[in-house]
Amino acid sequence: MIYRIVLFCTVVIFSVSYSETFEEILDRALKESPQLKSYRFETQTVEGEIKSAQAFPNPELFVQFGRLYTQTEENGLNITEFSINQPLKLWGTRKKAIEKALLKKSAFESLFDLKKREFTGELYSAFYSTLYLKEVLHIKEKEFKITKGIYEFVKKSYELGEDTKLNLFRAEKDLKIAQIELEQAKTEYTISLQKLSALAGFEIKDTKGSLTEIKQIKEIPLEELPEIRYIQKTIQSLDKEIQLQKALAKPQIGIEFSASEDEVDLGKYEFGIGITASVPVFYRNQGEIISILYEKKRYLSLIKQKEMVYSVKIKSLKEKYSLLTKQIEELDRKVIPSVSQALDLGKKSFKLREITLFELSDIRKQYIQALTYKASLLNELHQIYGEYIKIGGLR
């Protein structure tokens, strides 16, 4: 007896220790997901642009060597000319380049936030699909238990000569169907766990949570949506790029230090400091600016379209969410208590020979169908919430 108790406790502890909630799975998946890591690396690529914008240009070095020959002798190899030119970042080019790179980084961070929310929404939907199948498994276990109880009663009655062989066959058939459906539910739950594990990036042996725990869909300001923020930051970055191109179109100035060998008195050098400047060309960088302007217009049109799409989507999600919530409340308040009472009364009436086995089987099916339908509505509710997470809900 003690051995059985210890074994039972060990099995319970083992199964509970491997059950994971959505929050536990999400926290681990956000750290370990290769998919999210790739998006994070994409965001970090902008760090190189920021470093380049912050740095000053390297000086330009020019060195010329020469060797003098005469009829009688040969001089050694000499430096005949030497110059260093340091380009200057004027017209605010360095500041504008840094601001552009920082805005681009901010845009990529918003894009990463969007990808993270999409991943979270997919994981949420997959988790609750698995939890739904676990609930279906529990319902099938309950149905098997009810059917087994009816079969045992009919079998005992038949052995006592109080029931017919036909009823025994019907009870056996119902029990066999309930067993098949139970095995099928176990298989579907196992497959769902495997799919969830593949998405999360690590093995999940069991899920823990309640299908009835639902969250409310709240209104989200459109400007706070990750994709809208990404587009807005991209537009701001393009504005800075236009300003930068305009600044680069101006004469680019540098300071030059030079030294050259005297052509008459060889071995002696002349030194000088000068200013160099590029000659401005009419419509310089105009092509780049036009391309950026049209790119900006594309994003301005895109943001209007996205705002309309998200407005409609959030509204439709809230309406469908509200409708499903009312249907579930109706099931909890009227339908399920009614069929549950009918099943209890049916089992008593069957034992008193007031109803047939066929009638009891019909009541049992109605009860199981009501429980399954409620579970499917709850799953649909969680799938809607998963879509809500993808566009900006939860985190």
Q: What is the pLDDT of residues 143-158, one digit of tens each?
A: 999 999 999 999 999 8
Q: What confidence tier does 55 reach under pLDDT thresholds 50, 70, 90?
A: low
User: Tokens 């929050």 identify what position?
Assistant: 23
Summarised one tens digit per residue, pLDDT across range 201-218 is: 889 999 999 998 888 888
Res. 7: pLDDT tops 50 = no
Q: Which residue has the higher pLDDT, 240 or 34?
A: 240
In this prediction, residues 286-313 reach a mean pLDDT of 90
Radius of gyration of the chain (CA): 38
pLDDT, position 152: 94
pLDDT band at 17 (very low <50, low <70, confident <90, very high): very low
Query: Residue 231 and residue 49: Cα distance in Å, rounded?
Result: 19
Q: Cα dist. 248→56, 92, 288 in Å?
A: 15, 9, 11
259 membership: H or E segment, kind and range: strand 253-261
Least confident range from 54-63, 232-241, 282-291, 334-343: namely: 54-63
**Residue 161 above 50 pLDDT?**
yes
Residue 80 corresponds to which tokens in the numbers above?
Answer: 């005949």
Residue 3 has pLDDT above 50, yes or no: no
**d(C-alpha 238, C-alpha 219), whole Å:** 30
Q: What are phi and psi of 160, to 5 degrees?
A: -90, 0
Q: Which domains does the chain have, with CATH numbers?
A: 18-55+89-133+191-249+294-391 (1.20.1600.10), 61-88+253-284 (no CATH)
Q: Kindly state the average pLDDT of the residues 253-258.
A: 72
For 24, the token pair is: 């536990």
Q: What is the arithmetic mean of pLDDT over 175-198? A: 95
Confidence label for 363 from pLDDT (cuts 50, 70 and 90)? very high
pLDDT-derived band at 274, boundaries 50, 70, 90: low
**Closest-CA residue to 167 (of 342, 344, 361):** 361
Global model pTM greater than 0.85: no
